[in-house]
Copies of this chain bind each other. A is one copy, B any other.
Amino acid sequence: MKFTVASRLAYEVRETTVFILNVEAAALRYQTILSERLDLTPALAIDRHELDGGTRLVRAVAEPGAFEVEYRARVALSPYDADPASLGETPVADLPLEVVPFLNPSRYCQSDRLARFAFREFGALPPGHQRVTAICNWIHDNVDYLSGSSNSETSAYDTLVQRAGVCRDFAHLGIAFCRALSIPARFASSYAWQLEPPDFHAVFECYLDGAWYLFDPTRKAALQGLVRIGVGRDAADAAFATMFGNAVMTGMQVSIAPLDEVEDEEPTLRAVGIA
């Protein structure tokens, strides 16, 4: 299925600021970038780098004044069509060793401290895609999706107690549970079809039977319509913009639409509230 995605970030730069941007669709096995363009206004020189996981970083140095970043792309997604019931967990003895670091705890996913809980609650379930789905169902049923209930310091440890959060908190908790059960898991930011209101969306992926599979415990977006952007240990690795200097965001728009639904392949960007 093909999608057209777009985002526009607007800033007021007060002092020279280095931006590390991560808004471009990631270079991943399951998504093919058919076309894309990134426009900076003013037009600044950029550096680019693709991290090992497929995350694509762009750096620009903006001088004081208005600064805008606009990205548009057409992306073809070919998500797995495996029968979930047939997808098992890969034993640690068989995991590719480069996947092993995704079993480690990270800033927002203290899998080491959630281990007993994860084993008590999910340890006896049939392993594989079904178990991760059960984890997502548990999160959906036991954590309230509530804007403003968490902040940039909130971790899976907190969410498990406080029982409220937003998409990134849901993803962190899912990741922490999976790692505690020896299922490699990673965080993904995304353009998310059918998410209302439109915004960047956080989901997670698990390594099952030789590939990374997507999960969204919020149930807010269509899994077959997730164009991933940043892929990493947790949200610390997937900020859409990291700034070194002095700048404030003044506007943000995000959109995604199936390609055949848009005439001119140029979706209308809709405004997103800025927290």
Contact = CB atoms under 8 A, between A and B. Distances in A.
Given A106-B236, A107-B104, A142-B120, A161 B114 contact: yes
A237 to B, nearest CB: 6
Number of copies: 4
A18 interface: yes
Please tell me the size bucket of the interface on A.
35 or more
Interface string A44-69: 00011101100001010100000000
Contacts of A109: 107
Contacts of A152: 112
Contacts of A112: 107, 152-153, 236
Given A49-B100, A51-B101, A107-B112, 10 more contacts: A61-B93, A103-B242, A112-B152, A112-B153, A113-B153, A113-B162, A114-B161, A116-B163, A116-B164, A117-B162
Contacts of A164: 116
A237 B59 contact: no
